[in-house]
Amino acid sequence: MHILVTGGAGYIGSHTVKELVKAGHQVTVLDNLSKGWRAAVTKARLVKGELTSQRLLCELLQTGKINAVMHFAASSLVG
């Protein structure tokens, strides 16, 4: 299954991505890297961009053959 993970370079998203890859899924991460880390995404395709970009999102969904989306993108303060 090909899964798009938004916010996949953040803490929760990156751990989810690792488990999805370990389970044999193809994963594409969409993250603007404002709070996430490129180094957290090692085994999946990383697309740097904004979730609010309708053009980018449509392109990923239409040409990427995405089967599912997991949404973890957020602006939050922890601590």
Residue 58 confidence (pLDDT)? 94
Q: Does the domain at residues 2-71 carry the CATH identifier 3.30.390.30?
A: no
Residue 64 confidence (pLDDT)? 82
Residue 79 confidence (pLDDT)? 67
Please state, in angstroms and as integers, the Cα–Cα distance from residue 24 to each residue in 4, 27, 38, 59, 65, following that order.
Answer: 14, 9, 21, 24, 16
Question: Residue type at 21?
Answer: V
Residue 4 confidence (pLDDT)? 98
Q: How far apart are alpha carbons 13 and 19 in whole angstroms? A: 10
Backbone φ, ψ for residue 69 (5° rounding): -125, 135
Q: How far apart are alpha carbons 75 and 25 in whole angstroms? A: 27
| Tens digit of each residue's pLDDT, the chain (79 residues) | 999 999 999 999 999 999 999 999 999 999 999 989 999 999 999 999 999 999 999 999 999 899 999 999 998 776 6
